[in-house]
Chain A
Amino acid sequence: MAAEAIILAQHVIKAFGQGTAAVRALDDVSVEILRGEFFTLLGPSGCGKTTLLRLIAGFEMPTDGTILLDGADITTLPPNKRPVNTVFQSYALFPHLTVAQNIAFGLEMLGKPASEVKSTTERMLALVKLEAMAGRKTSQLSGGQQQRVALARALAPQPKVLLLDEPLSALDLKLRKEMQVELKRLQVETGITFVCVTHDQEEALTMSDRIGVMSNGKLQQVGTAKEIYTRPKNRFVASFIGETNFLTGRAEDDALRLAGGARIPVPGLRADGATTVTVRPEQVRLGKPEEGGLDATVKDLVYFGTDTHCHLALADGTEVVARLQSPATGEAGYAVGQTVGLRFADGAVQKVED
């Protein structure tokens, strides 16, 4: 895959409202989306991810900044002039048309010859496995089938970029898992760049080549699922993706000094003022106190089946959660009140910005 940008958003600002009441839904966002990748915008509701998607689709115009599509400036182009299609959260299928007519709509609007419209529609129906439903009205379909029609309709005109606005949020859990795989398959099969918006971190991690984490109208971090999970840039990213522990103290060379005096080795850390580090619960190792590590007291044990969460308190009161794989008996081998020695796996402790 050539690392070439298909979408390039530069210093995009989108303000809603006027004057002092104006709210910045997007606050100076620059992002590069590469050709042929599955890119996900992840963030809580109101973080501006949907606004960014709507700007790319052309439903909104940015207050400031530019958006390039395949090298061409599309900032002020209306949606019907952009080679970009959207899968809407509510699907927005045309209720007066059949499944096949819905899929053919974009091709017809582009003025494609009837034979091409027909053959492409048939190909799309096969792609989403809905050949048998071609003549049905969309209201006669299940939620999952409607989702497939929406996908086929948006893919039919072969857009340069497919935008997906919370595509799976209306489906139940089992169907959502299936569709995650399905979406990834469609993206690989068609080779089209997918830009997906979701608030579901698991969805983002499983489907995406790269993820852009957003909050408060700003892009917090862009990277692969692994990068974002293992090396979160700041406190928000670390806590939004998965569960994590935060430890605050003073930075020393290659270590963090906690308020209680305990020293945690953090290779690469330089002496600095107050610093926060993060460590994932599954990277916390427990042992006997005499084996070394930080002294910690077991406060609570919560059994989750595959693993057990062990809530611990350090000497200075800082809480740390350790995720332990549950042994065959289900007994973690620790008791509440017990003192244990706590260590972190090598390279698991990451400095984060606040």
Chain B
Amino acid sequence: MSPAEDRVVRRSARNGWLLSTPALILLFCAAAGPLIIVAIYSFLTAGKYGNVEWTFSTSGWVGILWTKDIFDDTWKLADAHLTIFWRSVSLSFLTTLFTFIVGFPTAWFIATRPPERRAFWLFLITIPFWTNLLIRTYAINEVLRKEGLINTVLLELGLIQTPLEMLYGPFAIFVGMTYVYLPLMVLPLFAAIDRFDMKLLEAGYDLYASRMQVLRRVILPIVKPGIVAGSILVFVPSLGAYVTPRVLGGGKQMMIGNFIELQFGQGRNWPLGAALSMLLLIVVTAALLIYVRFAGRNGGAHHG
């Protein structure tokens, strides 16, 4: 490389950094900065009236799993916390699974419509996004509650004698999250199925595969990147969901999101809240890395 060329390359590299400065500053202020503050807070001591005292302490992290007995000051395993973690993970997993079971046929249906009709169906899928999350969640509340739509209809039809108790529990949270996050599953699945060459179905049948074998051996492996993307998009926000469990869980059936909020509010234990936030971040990131690597090795993700 001649010195002149070398200068040009270096200048363009310098210009590149210069041009991305605004974005980098924004990223630092909006993403990395707050994260660093949260990370620091998780290692401080809780103040009496909220906030933090600038004394190093690991009690925030220890508090994730252990709690100090108020009578004899001994540390005990906090099974209430474990219940919340288990509820969050299991509900998020169920939500992901169920959005996939419902979302896959939906996405397949849309992707196999004539091109000019697809936009219409996709529009229908995205309509819920136009409404505020809180309002949508209250709408589900209205559907599920004792005097709500489902109970009224079932009572009128005489199928049940007493209204079903569906609200304020894991079931209601599950229904709410499935409803809220379904589009996030459908859209990436649609994108993957849209790229899927339908000739491969014929090739599969032609080579003696049954319908089930075509699904398992041809369709699913090829649309796997879409399944992975959809699952991530549903699982991650489900795990940190706040509004849905708050409105449909009735305050008692907390998920991690509500639990964290509690620490920064009534709980007045900011370090514990910060530590929980960091834990959530670490768990989600680790899960994503494992999932993406696993999917990348076996799937056809390279040609997406």
Residues of chain A having any CB pair with chain B under 8 Å: 57-59, 78-80, 84-86, 88, 90, 92-96, 105-106, 109-110, 139, 153-154, 157
Shortest Cβ distance from residue A11 to the other chain B in the assembled complex, whole angstroms: 25
Q: Can you name the residue of chain A whose Cβ is closest to the Cβ of B222?
A: A96
In the complex, the answer to whether A80 meets B218 with C-beta atoms within 8 Å is no
Cβ of B171 < 8 Å from any Cβ of A? no
Q: Can you name the residue of chain B whose Cβ is closest to the Cβ of A95?
A: B300
A336 to B300, CA, bound (A): 65
Convert B182-226 into 0s and 1s, putting 1 for each residue whose CB lies closer than 8 angstroms to a CB of A.
000000000000000101101111111110010001100110100
In the complex, the answer to whether A92 meets B197 with C-beta atoms within 8 Å is yes
Shortest Cβ distance from residue A16 to the other chain B in the assembled complex, whole angstroms: 16
A225 to B21, CA, bound (A): 72
Q: Can you name the residue of chain A whose Cβ is closest to the Cβ of B198?
A: A92
In the complex, the answer to whether B221 meets A96 with C-beta atoms within 8 Å is yes
A94 to B300, CA, bound (A): 10
In the complex, the answer to whether B206 meets A86 with C-beta atoms within 8 Å is yes
In the complex, the answer to whether A157 meets B303 with C-beta atoms within 8 Å is no
Given contacts A109-B213, A139-B303, contact A94 B206 (CB under 8 A): no
Contacting residue for A109 out of B202, B209, B222, B303, CB 8 A: B209
Shortest Cβ distance from residue A160 to the other chain B in the assembled complex, whole angstroms: 13
Interface of B is mostly: helix
Cβ of B299 < 8 Å from any Cβ of A? yes
Chain A residue numbers with a CB within 8 Å of B303 are: 95, 139
A93 to B202, CA, bound (A): 11
Given contacts A96-B299, A105-B207, contact A90 B202 (CB under 8 A): no
A30 to B87, CA, bound (A): 67
Given contacts A80-B208, A96-B300, A106-B208, contact A86 B202 (CB under 8 A): yes
List of 9 A-B pairs having minimum Cβ-Cβ separation, nearest first: A106-B207, A92-B203, A109-B208, A92-B199, A96-B300, A79-B205, A96-B221, A109-B209, A80-B208
Chain B residue numbers with a CB within 8 Å of A78 are: 205
A58 to B224, CA, bound (A): 29
Chain B residue numbers with a CB within 8 Å of A85 are: 206-207
A15 to B231, CA, bound (A): 43
In the complex, the answer to whether A157 meets B207 with C-beta atoms within 8 Å is yes
In the complex, the answer to whether A88 meets B209 with C-beta atoms within 8 Å is no
Interchain residue pairs with CB less than 8 A apart (20): A80-B205, A80-B207, A80-B208, A80-B209, A85-B207, A86-B202, A86-B206, A88-B203, A92-B200, A95-B197, A95-B300, A95-B303, A96-B299, A106-B208, A109-B207, A109-B208, A109-B209, A110-B208, A154-B207, A157-B208
**Most chain B CB neighbours (cut-off 10 Å) among A95, A96, A105, A153:** A96
In the complex, the answer to whether B300 meets A80 with C-beta atoms within 8 Å is no
